[in-house]
Amino acid sequence: MAYLITLLILIPVVGAIALYVGRPGSPRGVALVFNGLSLFYSLMAWQKFDATAPGLQLLERHTWIPSIGAEYIVGIDGLSLLLVLLTSLIFPFAFSAQKLERGACALLLVMQAALYGTFTAQNFVLWFLFYEMSLVPAFLLIKIYGGENRDYAAVKFFLYTFLGSVAMLLAFLGIYFAKGTFDFVKLAELGKSGLVGGNARWFVFGAIFLGLAVKVPVFPFHTWLPDAYQTAPTGVSMVLTGALSKMGVYGFIRLLVPLFPNEIKIAGPWILTLVVCSIVWAPFAAWAQRDLKRMVAYLSINHLGYCLLGLFAITAGPTPASIDRHAALSGVFLQIFNHGITAAALFYFVGLLEQRRGSRGINDFGGLMQCTPLLCGWMSVAMFSSLGLPGLNGFIGEFLIFKGSFAVAAGFTAIAVVGLLFTAITFMRAMQSLFSGPISESCAGFPDLLLGEKFVVVPVTLLMFAIGLNPQFIFNTFNATVAHMARLFS
């Protein structure tokens, strides 16, 4: 299969076109079929992937716009593969969360294609094409199919992200002007000796940081996120948090850190400060929310903060020991995957509650344990996973990150642990007010998990346990890559 990755990118596009043109009776069913195909091919890519080799694999390279150095070049390493797999998992999960209109299904599929592209493209222009290609569908999904306040949220989301993208684009054009290439691998090699000279390098660095920080998001660029996640339909929120937010983290790992090793050394403490702010401040904010979705959204900021903490802790300060680097990076990778699954699951459960109650205020519910024990049980699993209970997936990633970071950035890491605490408090309070206490009248007639919902919940939860108990099968996919990157970052 020489064109495996291209195929992977094209399948959702074909699906979207089929939905737009064909007007099928059950758009969700069609979308799920195409998701199945995507999943199949990503598993195939996993199977083809040689986990022991560090470099890019399944490479495809074609000339595209030679005059500006743009090439069609896609390939995967461990990180890319991880994210491709994540994407393939999140989308069927999201589609099964609720019934969506034909247009929404088509847009989601376009977004899926964009995500595959983003995670596999190895040339900036191509990468940026996919990166932006996800933006318009996301905007429309929020704008058209969103709930209350969708106007404001959609425009805010789009403009924030677009601002970041433009800044990043301009910076990359500057780099191209200086170095004459858009190729990630080549740029990473050139990055050690500095890409842009003089003070311009700070503009360039700042612009790229801004672009990615908005996408993740990092405090104080995060304000679009709660609005967007809150108003988007459940399925879209799941995709946004599960897959889309990973684009930012991926960008940090793939672009910013390799390209600007020297700048990060200098700017590292400032970045770490922002990251720790995200980690600590987000749970506080989450705690203050009355809307469940908003709460989960803020916690999402917190969890992505851990990823960045690990990443910048090992690159910003003095070079840490190899084992710490390795641990932190592995933790970051795993956390990326975990957060995708867990956060999506949380949104899924909130969606289930919303479907039953018609609202999602934290005070609208009470005593759910009595009428819907199964739902509460499975939801608790997701919550525990999110706050990092050992035995579930969340724990391993966070543990590795803290372990690695503590060695080099003890102060920042120590403060960050406070965030962990507040996350726990927030979840506990949520559980308490939702599940326990006297049953609220409006919740009395709730049905428990339906059969279809069980079909969705069980595999996801199993996956959480699987990673939590035996993370090795995930580690195996990216061990070589982590080792390679850890060397690269020193």
Partner 1 sequence: MIAWTIYLTFAGAVIVLLLPRAFARWIALLAATAGFVVTLVTFFRPDVDLGHFTTVVRVPWIPALGMNYHLALDGISLTLILVTGLAAISAILFSWDVSERAKEFFFWLLLVVGGSYGVFLSADLFLLFLFYELVIVPKYFLIAIFGSTNKEYGAMKLTLYSFFGGALVFLGVIAAYVAGGSFDINQLSQFQFPSQLQWWAFPVLFLGFAVLAGIWPLHTWAPTGHVAAPTAGSMLLAGIVMKLGAYAALRVAMNLFPEGFRMWRTTFAVLAVIGIVYAAAVALRQRDLKFVIGYSSVSHMGFVLLGLTTANVFGVSGAVLQMFSHGVIGALLFAVAGTMIYRRTHTRDLDALAAMNLRRALPFAAFTFVVASAASMGIPGFSGFAAEITILIGVWKAYPAAVWVVGAGMVLVAAFTLRALKRSFFDDGLGSAALSAAAPGLSAGKISESSRDGRAALAPITVPEKVGAALLMFATVAVGFYPKILLDRIQPAVEAMRFLR
Q: Looking at beta carbons only, is 174 or 268 nearer to partner 1?
A: 174
Shortest distance in whole angstroms from residue 157 CB to partner 1? 10
- Residue-level length of the chain: 490
Q: Up-side HSE of residue 429: CA atoms within 13 Å toward CB?
A: 18
Binding segment toward partner 1, per CB under 8 A, in 66-74, 77-85, 432-440, 451-459? 66-74
Pick from 68, 266, 417, 444: which binds partner 1 (CB under 8 A)?
A: 68
Binding segment toward partner 1, per CB under 8 A, in 60-68, 293-301, 341-349, 356-364? 60-68
Asked if residue 162 binds partner 1 (CB under 8 A), the reply is: yes
Shortest distance in whole angstroms from residue 128 CB to partner 1? 6
Q: Report how many residues bind partner 1 under the rule CB under 8 A.
A: 36
Q: Looking at beta carbons only, is 143 or 186 nearer to partner 1?
A: 143
Shortest distance in whole angstroms from residue 62 CB to partner 1? 11
CA torsion angle 86 107 252 161 (round to 10): -150
Shortest distance in whole angstroms from residue 133 CB to partner 1? 6
Q: Looking at beta carbons only, is 50 or 151 nearer to partner 1?
A: 151
Shortest distance in whole angstroms from residue 177 CB to partner 1? 4
Q: Looking at beta carbons only, is 6 or 481 nearer to partner 1?
A: 6
Residues 169-228, interacting with partner 1 (CB under 8 A)? 169-170, 173-174, 176-177, 200, 203
Asked if residue 151 binds partner 1 (CB under 8 A), the reply is: yes
Q: Looking at beta carbons only, is 107 or 434 nearer to partner 1?
A: 107
Residues 124-143, interacting with partner 1 (CB under 8 A)? 125, 128-133, 135-136, 139-140, 143
Query: How many whole angstroms from its chain centre is CA 39?
Result: 18
Which residues make up the interface to partner 1 (CB under 8 A)? 63-68, 125, 128-133, 135-136, 139-140, 143-144, 151, 154-155, 158-159, 162-163, 166-167, 169-170, 173-174, 176-177, 200, 203
